[in-house]
């Protein structure tokens, strides 16, 4: 995907930890994407429902208060306007069962914490390429 195409991609980043959110936001920007950061899953969900065409990729923390990452993912995949958005679940909860749960519910990828910003960038590029190819 060209830098021009990437610059047009908007990434929702959701994490209830301010430091992790900053890391996600910085890595997303470094990759040439525009980040839309959220600390609160309810605010992120409201934003998505009101702006369904504004996000191209979502990176969400699995362990969130109130609406956890799996529930957030299920809501996205159950919504006709949002189900096409690739979702990267990121978490420290990395057992085989947990990873299967995320993938079975429609996650594009399961990113284990701690991760390097470079790994996130590779996943964003891969998800962006899948969008460009219509996958």
User: pLDDT for 113-128, tens place per residue?
Assistant: 888 889 999 999 899 8
User: pLDDT for 40-80, tens place per residue?
Assistant: 999 999 999 999 999 999 999 999 999 999 999 999 999 99
Are 35 and 80 in contact, with CB atoms under 8 Å apart? no
For the chain, which residues make up each domain, given as ranges? 3-128
What residues form DSSP beta bridges with 77?
A: none
Choose between 4 and 71: higher pLDDT: 71
Burial 23-32 (b: 16+ CB within 10 A, else e): bbbebbeebb
Kind and range of the H or E run holding 61: strand 57-61
For domain 3-128, give its CATH number from 3.30.70.3040, 3.40.50.2300, 2.40.50.140, 3.40.50.300.
3.40.50.2300
How far is residue 5 CA from its own chain's centroid?
A: 18
Decide: pTM greater than 0.85: yes
């Amino acid at each position: 995907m060209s830098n021009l195409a990437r610059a047009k991609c908007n990434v929702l980043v959701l994490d209830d930890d301010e430091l992790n959110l900053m890391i996600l936001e910085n890595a997303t920007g470094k990759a040439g994407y525009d980040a839309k950061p959220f600390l609160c899953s309810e605010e992120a969900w409201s934003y998505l429902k009101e702006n369904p065409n504004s996000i191209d990729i979502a990176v969400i923390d699995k362990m969130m208060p109130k609406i956890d990452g799996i529930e957030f993912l299920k809501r996205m995949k159950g919504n006709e306007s949002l189900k096409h958005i690739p979702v990267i679940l990121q978490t420290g909860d990395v057992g085989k069962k947990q990873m299967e749960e995320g993938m079975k519910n429609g996650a594009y990828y399961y990113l284990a914490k701690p991760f390097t910003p470079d790994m996130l960038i590779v996943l964003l590029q891969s998800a962006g390429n899948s969008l460009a190819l219509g996958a």
